[in-house]
Structure 1
Amino acid sequence: MATPNGNLRAVRMGLLMSQDDFARALRDAGQRAGQPNDASKRLVQRWESGTTAAPRPVYARALETVTGLPIESLGFPPQPLARVSGDGRGGHDLVGSPVGTPTGGTSPNPQTAPRGNHTGVWLSTYEYVSSGRGDQVFTGKHYVVLLQHGNRLTGRSLPGASLNPDSPLTLDLQVEGSTVTGTWTEQTAPDGYYRGARYFGALQLLAEPTGRRMAGKWVGFGKEFDVNTGPWELRLMDTSTAKATLAEYDRPPE
């Protein structure tokens, strides 16, 4: 009897997506990456019911992009990389190392993180001014999982890893040398000060040569339709995205 994939279903519902919406997002991610796929509502249902135990590599890459989480955290077993065919769709012959897992299964030291690839767990810290609270400066912190595919970098905060509970953060970035640019989105907590408001904006960072830190500025819109900005930093905590590592950082930052 197939075992239902509760992890994938929980992540999808956390993104506030129906199965149709999720399939559409997977197709869009494949198109943007130049690796089109045929994700459908039926395929999502088969994954969530456990009828299909593991996605093909082309779907695994799209799943990681849409969710911002490694494939192992979505309830699928670690799987090798695909031998990619000429049309970029990938195939059924599986070779290589597990997707999102460093070769050897060990957790590399952040000080020896390979340059040019930013996959790992990062501490995201930004500052913002609250005009409704006397222009006080507040800090937002999240442990974020970054996954890099080529020059595309996607990120999503771990479920229990924000300084303010129930405030998931997503990042969609592009790497060009030491410059990292893109967009951010944060869904604030329903019972918090901002009452579940969704905020989004742009982000530009410079990556240090060590590969351990990125720092720069965010820009976004305020409640009064004004444009706000502030500092943002990403600091590497661990280059591993193994299940045990993610569990270690699935907690509010200090």
Structure 2
Amino acid sequence: MTTPNSTLRAVRMGLLLSQDEFARAIREAGTRAGQRNDASKRLVQRWEAGITAAPRPLYARALESVTGLPVEALGFAVVPMARVSEDGQGGHDLQDSPVGIPEASGTPTPQAAPRGNYSGVWLSTYEFVSSGRNNEVFTGKHFVVLLQHGNRLTGRSLPNASLNPDSPLTLDLQIDGTAVTGTWTEQTASDGYYRGARYFGALQMLIDPTGRRMSGKWCGFGKEFDVNTGPWELRLMDSSTSKATLAAYDRAPDAS
């Protein structure tokens, strides 16, 4: 039995691209790189259905170009490759951008069934302290499309839906009853304060009884070999993931 690649589907939908449009973008990326490919809607469907578990290198490079994410972050069954900066630092509020998060090993723990379907558009809000800016507290906001498959919840911010421009956010979460646990990754803007650095960390939240809010905390590595943490909340805006709904939320959230 194949497992659908809901991560790739969430990323594609977050880019507001149909399967046809996504295939065209992959072909165009290959042409720009001088490595033409034959990406088609059918190939995208096979990727998202999990029938093709890993893309060939030719397609992997084009996928990275189109999505702005390493191929191991797109839900494919590939071995993660560590891409660590020279100083080995990583996490929130750093100047360089390591990424590799190893896969978990051992026997999976049975999980409680989720109480509902949490697919939809959510407002993601987190806070962090910037040690480089006099320990001032900053807020990050994104409208994120979440897609659920079984106990897995994957998300990607919409293209223009971050409080800080050009800072896409991805989430890879597991639901166990009312507990949500997983990882987050944010690519900062190349012309922003963090100069295009890519940050990642862990996230754990609880779903409230209404099923319309998740709240908890993130953690990530600091500059001085410490672990930073802060609050994170997801609030449901719309349970629809139609193209019209995604287009309506493809804007920067209110700063308040």
- Superposed displacement of residue 41, structure 1: 4.4
Aligned partners of 1:19 and 1:44 also within 8 Å: no
Match of 1:121 in 2: 121
Q: Secondary structure at the match of 2:244?
A: helix
Match of 2:197 in 1: 197
Match of 1:206 in 2: 206
- Superposed displacement of residue 8, structure 1: 4.5
Match of 1:168 in 2: 168
Aligned length: 178
1:128-139 paired onto structure 2 within 5 Å: 128-139=128-139
Q: How far does the alpha carbon of each residue in 1:54-107 deviate from its partner, in whole angstroms, 9 at most, with x for none?
A: xxxxxxxxxxx749xxxxxxxxxxxxxxxxxxxxxxxxxxxxxxxxxxxxxxxx
Q: 1:131 and 1:210 mapped to 2: Cα distance? A: 36
Aligned partners of 2:154 and 2:171 also within 8 Å: yes
- Superposed displacement of residue 7, structure 1: 3.7
Aligned partners of 2:146 and 2:156 also within 8 Å: yes
Aligned partners of 2:215 and 2:233 also within 8 Å: yes
- Superposed displacement of residue 5, structure 1: 3.5
Aligned partners of 1:201 and 1:220 also within 8 Å: yes
**4+ long deviations beyond 2 Å:** 4-13, 26-30, 35-45, 222-226
Opposite residue 230 of structure 2, the aligned amino acid is G
Gaps of 5+ in 1: 49-64, 68-113
Aligned partners of 1:217 and 1:231 also within 8 Å: yes
**Residues 129, 19 of structure 1: CA spacing in aligned structure 2 closer, same or farther, 3 A cutoff?**
farther
1:75-224 paired onto structure 2 within 5 Å: 115-224=115-224
Match of 1:37 in 2: 52
The one of 10, 20, 24 aligned to 1:5: 20
Opposite residue 246 of structure 1, the aligned amino acid is L
**Residues 9, 119 of structure 1: CA spacing in aligned structure 2 closer, same or farther, 3 A cutoff?**
same
Q: 2:236 and 2:118 mapped to 1: Cα distance? A: 9
Gaps of 5+ in 2: 1-18, 30-34, 40-44, 64-73, 77-113
Aligned partners of 1:27 and 1:39 also within 8 Å: no
Q: 2:122 and 2:130 mapped to 1: Cα distance? A: 25
Match of 1:247 in 2: 247
Tell me: higher relative CO, structure 1 or 2? Use CA pairs within 8 A at least 6 residues apart: 2
- Superposed displacement of residue 116, structure 1: 1.3
Q: How far does the alpha carbon of each residue in 1:210-242 deviate from its partner, in whole angstroms, 9 at most, with x for none?
A: 110000000011244431100000000000000
Match of 2:98 in 1: none
Aligned partners of 2:151 and 2:176 also within 8 Å: yes
Aligned partners of 2:47 and 2:53 also within 8 Å: no
- Superposed displacement of residue 6, structure 1: 3.5
217-226 or 160-169: which moved more? 217-226
Aligned partners of 1:167 and 1:186 also within 8 Å: yes
**Residues 132, 39 of structure 1: CA spacing in aligned structure 2 closer, same or farther, 3 A cutoff?**
closer
